[in-house]
Amino acid sequence: MANDEWQVGRNLRVRVAIWREPEARDLPLPSYRTSGSAGVDLYAAVKEPVVLPPGERRLIPTGIRIALPPGYEAQIRPRSGLALQHGIGMVNSPGTIDSDYRGEIRVILINWGTEPFIIHRGDRIAQLVVAPVAQIEWDEREQLPESERGEGGFGHTGR
């Protein structure tokens, strides 16, 4: 294989049930923008434009509910374009949707910018990425095995 060629594996596909709130059925379903996208765009299901002043946060509805299969989670992540162009981010990034959650997906947006930001119906406000989840089983011990890093943290590996 030449250096400019990449072996492409199969994309993992997961079937996820989705339900739209009646007042959000005019909005598009979340979708991938390109064939290489990791996340689908989530749309604002606001009835009227929402003004987000600098330094404030709002819970923005998406109008959708999902049913993930066991063993998966959905991560809600900010959109880089909103962050760069307007200073719009998420307070809890990434937000986690557990496989047993059936409520409406809502996004906590914050305006870290210097100007008010207006959220319109149908605006792309966040991304949703589905990922497998491993649940842990604790193995309590009297001592942990040694490692090269040891107790170094909080920037220790960059020094």
pTM value?
0.85
Gap between the Cα atoms of 4 and 122, Å rounded: 39
pLDDT above 80: residue 156: no
pLDDT above 50: residue 1: no
Q: Is residue 79 part of a domain?
A: yes
| Straight-line distance from the first to the last Cα atom of the chain, in angstroms, rounded to the nearest whole number | 38
Cis-peptide, bond into residue 22, ω within 30° of zero: no
Q: Is residue 10 part of a domain?
A: no
Under a CB-based contact definition with an 8 Å cutoff, are residues 104 and 20 in contact? no
DSSP state of 94: S
Task: Residue 111: count other Cβ atoms within 10 Å of its Cβ.
Answer: 22
Task: Look up the domain containing 72 and give its range.
Answer: 18-134
The structural domain count of the chain equals 1
Residues 84-130 pLDDT 10s: 999 999 999 999 999 999 999 999 999 999 999 999 999 999 999 99
Question: Which residue in 125, 128, 70 sits closest to 96, CA to CA?
Answer: 128
Token code pair at residue 121: 């119906």
pLDDT above 60: residue 151: yes
Residues 3-34 pLDDT 10s: 555 445 566 789 999 999 999 999 999 999 99
Q: Is residue 6 part of a domain?
A: no
Phi, psi at 156, each rounded to 5°: -60, -40
* CATH value at residue 24: 2.70.40.10
Q: Is residue 151 part of a domain?
A: no
Q: Is residue 35 part of a domain?
A: yes
Q: Is residue 159 part of a domain?
A: no
Q: Is residue 88 part of a domain?
A: yes
Q: Is residue 154 part of a domain?
A: no
Question: Which residue in 99, 93, 76, 85 sits closest to 17, CA to CA?
Answer: 99
pLDDT on residue 7: 47
Question: Which residue in 6, 16, 10, 61 sits closest to 39, CA to CA?
Answer: 16
